[in-house]
Structure 1
Amino acid sequence: MCSGILWGGIILQLILMLAFDWPGPQVILYGVLSGMLWGSANFLVIPLVRICGLALGFSLYHIINLSWGYCLSRFGLFGMDQDVGRIPVLRDVGVFVLLASFVMLFWVEPEEAKTTTAPLKTKERPSQSVRHKATAPTQSDETSPMGQQNDDEVEVVKSPTAGQPSRKYLFGLSRVHAIKLAGIALAIAAGVLTAMNGWPYALWTQTQQGKDMMAVQFVFSQTIGIYTVSSIWYWLSSTIRQFAFKKRTNHSVIRPAFIAGLFWVIGDVNMLYGIDGIGYAAAYTLDAVGPVMVASVLSLLWFKEIKETRQRLWFIGSFVTQVAGCIMVAVGA
């Protein structure tokens, strides 16, 4: 995905250089910092979902992201200009409504998410290449996709044997509870980092350089920061996995992630101009909720991941609540 983001930034920069006759690309350090914050947050999302599950993981992540991102500008934190909005009370209530909608998502679990724990041990992961599938040995229920026993996954899923005490790891907690707490910590960290990725842009717009330049000129520097920090995190994690845990890193499918990166660049440009148009607090709030609403519609209508009637009612109720909250935030801005 980060490769797609970098290529999207390069293509955008080339188009703008030809259209506006710019002498060359300009790297903005505020933009690099913004990209590094977002790239670090994106790196944490996958492990937190694997540990906490979609419901708890994504709910915590979006609640932290939305509330912290809104408070940054609402109260003028970390040097940002305070943005109270046209109708402050209405906009504040709208944010609480949006937070309530994410709490409602806690009771919504897609059908596939309910059955991912057991099948992961017996079927091949989508990230495995065709060459590796052809050469990998036959797997049993006790082995990982690499043909080796995956003790970590087995220990997390299985409960302690009857009659044996649970092993203690941290502050008297069992391994399962310690991993859950680690997942919650990852969700909080990812939410805060995602919310902070717009903070450098707000500071940049307050400088003379930011006032003289176009918002779209900020994007190329963001893509450089994202690609740089993502490469660093990938090198570190794969090295630790290889030498400390003796496990190979499975590579993901390239094309879908690359296309997703291109879409991210388009969305980022619109977000920056939205911040300039209606203010940081309202624009970032709507930007944080928008992807969730689009993903909700696709999940329900296109992929049909939610089949139970009770789950669908919670899901639709959350979506309607999000629409109401977005309207209140937009009007209050």
Structure 2
Amino acid sequence: MFFQWVLCAAIWIAGLVTNCITNFPTFYPLAMLGGFLWATGNICVVPIIKTIGLGLGMLIWGSFNLLSGWASGRFGWFGLHPEVPNKPTMNYIAIAFAMLSAVIWLFVKSEGSQQQIINECEDALLTDEEEDRRSEEEDVVGRSWMDGMSPLRRRMIGCALSVFSGLLYGLSFTPVIYIKDNYPGASKTDVHYVFAHFCGIFATSTLYFAIYCAFKKNKPEVFPSAILPGLISGGMWAIADIGWFAANQYLSEAVSFPIITTGPGIIASLWGIFVFKEVRGVRNFIIMGVAYCFTITGAVLAGFSKS
């Protein structure tokens, strides 16, 4: 909860800078709803990583992010104007390839405890002083609600949370597109809605963090070592999301979502292989290779469907 709040603070700062650069466009409160959806889905990320790992988690939520975002734009759900690609058949095939890659990824098995894997990586990088501080933090945290669960239950919870997060992520742009389609005089430049969207993200994360502090009787678990990584992560995410706003404008959701949502999954899975060592074995690598082929093919076909 603390990490997300720091992350979203950095996101809001990036949105404020963007608002200044774009000469303070009209602020539409409805655009904050998209930020609420994203922040609500993002709460599940840490439990997802702890239950099924970074690679598998991101690929599942990325797939459902793709499906909900693409469908809402392509078919005009929630009051949007339908966005039909120049080559609809090719676009459908791209979606099919992307979703098949998600199904294939379900057969990849993470090896060992995710937290144990992360701790092993950290042990090689921490100094004695940092290791002592981490031990103190772990003593404060105590047992997580996920500790003691069977591997099957952890996997089921992780997959369910990934689906939930993905659906909310995919709908996070819907309020902005609704404003563009239905509000007279509203700007057609998607980046003009970034600040309102990011305000929704920070307001929602602040609300959740306040609820968490109240639940913990004003004794929240706060870790200084998470502040700088949170700020850096928030800045990186904000820059990428601003690019996504621009991609939606020039390509439409029906084209941008298949490309953008599948790429991060590949990167995350490579981190899972080479850094966290959560995926091992020839069988898993073969399955991942097939999934990569489907993912890349889907992204390429989505791009060509616009031409």
- TM-score of the superposition, structure 1-length normalised? 0.74
Residues 152 and 81 of structure 1: is their aligned pair in 2 closer, same or farther, counting only changes over 3 Å? closer
- CA displacement at 1:231 relative to structure 2: 1.1
1:324 aligns with 2:297: yes
Query: CA separation in 1, counterparts of 2:31 and 2:233?
Result: 20
**Aligned pair 1:249/2:221, yes or no?**
yes
User: Structure 2 vs 1, CA of residues 3 and 196 (structure 1 numbering), >3 Å: closer, same or farther?
Assistant: same
Task: Name the SS of the counterpart of 1:197 in structure 2.
Answer: coil
User: RMSD between aligned alpha carbons?
Assistant: 3.5
The letter for the 2-side match of 1:155 is: G
Question: Structure 1 residues 107 and 247, CA, compared in 2 at 3 Å: closer, same or farther?
Answer: farther
Contact 2:54 2:268 in 1 (8 A): no
Task: Specify the SS of the correspondent of 2:27.
Answer: coil
User: Residue 10 of structure 1 corresponds to which residue in structure 2?
Assistant: 16
Alignment gaps of 5+ in structure 2: 1-6
Give the 3 Å change call, closer, same or farther, for CA 237–101 of structure 1 in structure 2. Answer: same
Larger radius of gyration: 1
CA distance in 2, matches of 1:151, 1:32: 32
Deviates more, 1:312-321 or 1:209-218: 209-218
Q: Deviations over 1:213-259 (max 9, x none)?
A: 5322111111111111011112223432x24xx98524361222212
Deviations 1:7-57 (A, max 9, x none): 11122222333xxxxxx4642213211111111111122223323444664
1:149-298 matched pairs, under 5 angstroms: 150=143, 152-157=145-150, 177=153, 182-208=157-183, 211-212=186-187, 214-240=189-215, 242-243=216-217, 248-251=220-223, 253-297=226-270
Whether the 8 Å contact between 2:52 and 2:114 is mirrored in structure 1 is no
Cα contact 2:65–2:170 (8 A) shared by 1: yes
Match of 2:138, SS state, is coil
Structure 1 residues 313 and 155: CA distance shift in structure 2, 3 A: closer
Q: Which runs of 4+ in 1 moved over 6 A?
A: 119-126
Q: Structure 1 CA distance, aligned partners of 2:297 and 2:121?
A: 42
Deviations 1:171-201 (A, max 9, x none): xxxxx74x66554442332121111101112
Assess, with a 3 A threshold, how the Cα gap between structure 1 residues 256 and 145 changes in structure 2: closer, same or farther.
Answer: closer
Distance 1:76 1:148, change over 3 A: closer
Match in the other structure for 1:172:
none
Cα distance, 1:134 vs. partner? Answer: 5.2
AA of the residue aligned to 1:114: G
**SS at 2:43's partner residue?**
helix
**CA separation of 1:201/1:152 partners in 2, compared to 1, >3 Å: closer, same or farther?**
closer
Q: Take 1:294 and 1:118, find their aligned partners in 2: how far apart are those partners?
A: 21
Relative to structure 1, the CA distance from residue 102 to residue 225 in structure 2 (aligned partners, 3 Å threshold; closer, same or farther) is same
Distance 1:107 1:14, change over 3 A: same
Distance 1:16 1:87, change over 3 A: closer
Match of 2:138 among 135, 140, 145: 145
Q: Which has the higher helix share?
A: 2
TM-score (norm 2): 0.80
Instruction: Using the TM superposition, give the Cα deviation of residue 95 of structure 1 relative to its aligned residue in structure 2, in angstroms.
Output: 0.6
Provide the C-alpha distance between the structure 2 equivalents of 1:223 and 1:68, rounded to a whole number of angstroms: 20
The CA deviation string for residues 52-80 of structure 1, in whole angstroms up to 9 with x for no partner, is: 44466444323322212211122221111
Structure 1 unaligned blocks of 5 or more: 18-23, 138-143, 159-175
Q: Residues 104 and 314 of structure 1 are in contact (CA less than 8 Å); yes or no, is this contact kept in structure 2?
A: yes
**Where in structure 2 are the equivalents of 1:95-134 lying within 5 Å?**
95-109=95-109, 114-116=112-114, 133=132
Q: Aligned letter for 1:91?
A: N
**Cα distance in 1, alignment partners of residues 55 and 291 from structure 2:** 13
Instruction: Describe the SS at the equivalent of 2:296.
Output: helix
Closer, same or farther: CA 56–247 of 1 in aligned 2, 3 Å: farther
